Structure 1
Amino acid sequence: MSKHGFFQITQKLFLRDGNSLLVLRDQKSGHGDLPGGRMNEDEFFEDWMDSVYREIKEELGENIKIEVNPKPIFVHKHMVNEGNFPCIIIAYEAKLIQGNVQLSDEHDYMEWVDIHSFDPKKLFSEYMLDAVQLYLNQYA
């Protein structure tokens, strides 16, 4: 008899400014990343958007104002780089309202890329690459 799995939840944003999409690079792994991150244990029974906005404040700074559509656009599998934990990505669309990104030390690179011409294979890998390609195929 197989046992039930335990999986972490990471909420990731496809943050847009018009036709530009914000992409990041994880400082530790060197792999492409999107804004957002894993939900803490105490956030599970709260409003999940609180977890999203906490992560955005941590990763993109206090000065940025965004609007997140709370309805997920898709769910995807992922392996967290650190520790290789199996994880569920819940993907949301978001748009930049105002402000400039101030990267935390979690990421060492960012770029606003054109959704029509961006090739995610240069930055992303594995499941995150699949998720970004899925998004670009649907929304670009």
Structure 2
Amino acid sequence: MSNHGFFQITQKLFLRDGEKLLVLRDRKSGHGDLPGGRMNEDEFFSDWSESIFREVSEELGEQIKIDVNPEPIFIHKHRVNEGNFPCVIIAYTASLVNGNIQLSDEHDFMDWVNIKDFDPSKLFSEYMLEAVQLYLKKHA
């Protein structure tokens, strides 16, 4: 008999400003990251975009305004660095409307990289690297 698994849901944004893509670095792991994060239990039965906007305001500051396309561009797998939990990544595209980013203490580095010549392997690893490579292949 097989056991059904329990998995967490991570929603990540490919946040663009024209040809530039926002990349972050996780302070704890030192690995590349994208804006977004895990859904809380109480958010599961709500509108999932509320979870995205909560994460974005936590990670990038209250005054940033973004436009998120609610249609996922792909689904990928991931292990959360803390606790090694298996996670489903749901990836979305978003664009910066206005505002200045105020990084939270979750991340210690950010950059707007050019999607045409960015090499994600210098910053990202494992499943997040695969996700960014997948995005760049389709959208660069």
Listed as ranges, the matches of 1:41-120 within 5 Å are 41-120=41-120
Give the deviation of 1:63 after TM superposition. Answer: 1.3
Gaps of 5+ in 2: none
**Percent sequence identity over aligned pairs:** 77
Figure out how many residues of one structure are paired with residues of the other and give that number. 140
Give the deviation of 1:85 after TM superposition. Answer: 0.4
Give the deviation of 1:91 after TM superposition. Answer: 0.1
Taking the aligned partners of 2:100 and 2:139, their CA distance within structure 1 comes to 24
Listed as ranges, the matches of 1:21-36 within 5 Å are 21-36=21-36
Taking the aligned partners of 1:92 and 1:100, their CA distance within structure 2 comes to 21
Give the aligned partner of residue 123 of structure 1.
Answer: 123
Return the TM-score normalized by structure 2. Answer: 0.99
Gaps of 5+ in 1: none
Give the deviation of 1:2 after TM superposition. Answer: 1.4
Q: Which stretches of structure 1, 4 residues or more, deviate above 2 A after TM superposition? A: none
Return the TM-score normalized by structure 1. Answer: 0.99
Taking the aligned partners of 2:46 and 2:64, their CA distance within structure 1 comes to 23
SS at match of 2:63: coil
Taking the aligned partners of 1:38 and 1:44, their CA distance within structure 2 comes to 10
Give the aligned partner of residue 9 of structure 2.
Answer: 9
